[in-house]
């Protein structure tokens, strides 16, 4: 079992971000007797679940001088997992803000995170509207301490402080990834990233191409289809001859990837189809981006892989001071990382897909903390939802057959002090 930061004394920890990860990290650190300061650039807790109708001045979000908006939530967004799977173990995500659906709106999840912060008095240690501008070793020799420079935006207050450890929980939904499209520099239409999508009305009577096979592409394509003239979804993982009209829609098609675009506004797909297009929307995910973090090369981002990280958490050269849980020796950590990376490379898996099996990883983390493994009902519910999502993308959120798993979930929830209403 990996040892934690020394339990014999309290450590002063900087926790960057008050989203789902940062909030629970703050709670656990305080439970272990550490003092915590949470840095949050927004006015409230919730991270990526905070909705705003504001979008960035650059629809592609590549202009370094753009006005950055720290939200990617669109108005119609609902979770793509049932609420029973999503909550913290001791604080289930039961009905809170009047949305009783199993796959609730973003507002319900935000209310849940706000309730969590209040329940465990986390708000008292959060510095809201405070941006972390620099995190670096406090001394050149390295004594495990970290210098954290921050700026309070409204009061224009700057702080330069030293912490024993830093937990980075700042998310990765700010810097979009974009597809490389031959001919795009001379294509006259509008390009944007889904980060800047909020509502479908602006796409009325337009022909729109979305790039991506992720949840956002699936949701947004259907959201827009009710207003746009035509919607075409291009997926890199689709076969080259893919051209499928989506059931239940008269104006929504699935394609293979874009081959190239032209000055006359046309878009060629690998399936041989050519269409005049008004908008191309990249639903292509995000880059890991930590501009404030200085580690002298100990942590880098290569092909969207942050590393080297032991168990996707700990940089060996800097542990345990970038985490609240200690780990084995640096030599053992590097050995584990090299073996894991070599296995992926031997299988031909690109660096950007460096992820361990979800439940195997979760259960390992739980074992290190002395917690029980993921409940069997939660695993089955997660996997069942994935199958239904692929088979029934239109209805999986509102029609299901896992009632027995829901019953098991609420039996477990009743063990906690929170009152759960089905």
pLDDT 10s digits, 176-220: 999 999 999 999 999 999 999 999 999 999 999 999 988 999 999
Average pLDDT of the chain is: 89
Round to the nearest angstrom and report the end-to-end CA distance of the chain. 37
For CA atoms 109, 113, 114, 119, the dihedral sign is positive
Cα 13 to Cα 36, 96, 131, 290: the distances in Å are 5, 31, 16, 18
Cα 408 to Cα 85, 397, 405, 420: the distances in Å are 12, 19, 5, 13
Percent of the chain predicted with pLDDT > 70: 90
pLDDT at 169 over 80: yes
Domain architecture of the chain: domains with CATH: 12-174+286-327 (3.50.50.60), 184-282 (3.50.50.60), 375-421 (no CATH)
Main-chain dihedrals φ then ψ at residue 296, nearest 5 degrees: 55, 35
User: What is the token pair recorded at 76?
Assistant: 């119609």
Mean pLDDT over 245-261 rounds to 96
Poorest-pLDDT segment among 78-92, 183-197, 293-307 = 293-307
Query: Which one has a higher pLDDT value, 302 or 355?
Result: 302
Mean pLDDT over 240-244 rounds to 96
pLDDT 10s digits, 98-144: 899 999 999 999 999 999 999 999 999 999 999 999 999 998 755 67
pLDDT of residue 232: 98
Q: Are 151 and 133 in contact (CB under 8 A)?
A: yes
pLDDT 10s digits, 330-383: 454 455 667 777 777 887 777 766 655 678 878 988 898 888 899 999 999 999
Main-chain dihedrals φ then ψ at residue 267, nearest 5 degrees: -125, 125
Q: Is 22 helix (H, G, I), strand (E, B) or coil?
A: helix
Beta strands 165-168 and 175-176, pairing class: unpaired
Q: Read out DSSP for 250-313?
A: SSEEEE--EEEE-TTSEEEETTS-EEE-SEEEE---EE---TTB--TTSSEEETTEEES-BTTT
Mean pLDDT over 226-252 rounds to 96
Q: Are 405 and 384 in contact (CB under 8 A)?
A: yes
pLDDT of residue 191: 98
pLDDT of residue 106: 96
Mean pLDDT over 168-172 rounds to 85
Q: Which of 188, 193, 189 is nearest to 178 (CA)?
A: 193
Q: How open is the CA angle 334-338-341, to the nearest 5 degrees?
A: 135
* CA atoms lying within 13 Å on the CB side of residue 213: 11
CA dihedral 363, 364, 365, 368 (to 10 degrees): 120
Q: Which of 117, 252, 258 is nearest to 180 (CA)?
A: 258
Helical H segments across 371-422, by residue range:
376-391, 403-413
pLDDT of residue 343: 74
């Amino acid at each position: 079992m990996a040892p934690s930061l020394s339990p014999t004394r309290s450590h002063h920890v900087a926790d960057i971000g008050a989203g789902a990860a940062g909030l629970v990290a703050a709670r656990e650190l305080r439970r272990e007797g550490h003092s915590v300061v949470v840095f949050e650039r927004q006015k409230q807790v919730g991270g990526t679940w905070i909705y705003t109708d504001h979008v960035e001045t650059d629809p592609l979000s590549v202009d370094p001088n753009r006005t950055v908006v720290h939200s990617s939530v669109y108005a119609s967004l609902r979770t793509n997992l049932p609420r029973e799977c999503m909550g913290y173990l001791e604080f289930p995500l039961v009905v809170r803000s009047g949305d009783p659906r199993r796959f609730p709106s973003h507002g319900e999840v935000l209310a849940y995170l706000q309730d969590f912060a209040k329940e465990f008095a986390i708000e008292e240690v959060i510095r809201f509207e405070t941006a972390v501008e620099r995190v670096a070793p406090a001394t050149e020799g390295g004594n495990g301490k970290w210098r954290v420079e921050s700026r309070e935006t409204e009061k224009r207050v700057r702080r330069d402080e030293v912490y024993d450890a830093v937990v980075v929980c700042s998310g990765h939904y700010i810097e979009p990834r974009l597809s490389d499209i031959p001919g795009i520099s001379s294509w006259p239409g509008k390009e944007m990233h889904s980060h800047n999508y909020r509502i479908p009305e602006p796409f009325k009577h337009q022909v729109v191409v979305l790039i991506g096979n992720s949840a956002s592409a699936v949701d947004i394509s259907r959201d827009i289809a009710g207003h746009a003239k035509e919607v075409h979804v291009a997926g890199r993982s689709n076969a080259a001859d893919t051209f499928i009209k989506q059931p239940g829609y008269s104006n929504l098609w699935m394609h293979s990837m874009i081959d190239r675009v032209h000055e006359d506004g046309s878009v060629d797909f690998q399936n041989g189809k050519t269409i005049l297009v008004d908008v191309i929307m990249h639903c292509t995910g995000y880059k890991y981006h930590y501009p404030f973090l200085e580690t002298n090369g100990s942590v880098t981002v290569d092909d969207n892989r942050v590393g080297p990280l032991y168990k996707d958490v700990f940089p060996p050269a800097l542990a345990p001071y970038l985490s609240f849980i200690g780990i084995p020796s640096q030599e053992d950590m590097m050995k584990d990382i090299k073996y894991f990376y070599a296995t992926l490379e031997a299988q031909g898996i690109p660096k950007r897909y460096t992820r361990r099996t979800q439940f195997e990883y979760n259960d390992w983390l739980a074992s290190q903390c002395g917690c029980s493994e993921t409940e069997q009902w939660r695993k089955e519910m997660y996997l069942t939802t994935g199958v239904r999502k692929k088979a029934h993308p239109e209805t999986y959120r509102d029609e299901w057959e896992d009632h027995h798993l829901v019953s098991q979930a609420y039996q477990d929830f009743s063990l906690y002090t929170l009152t759960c209403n089905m």
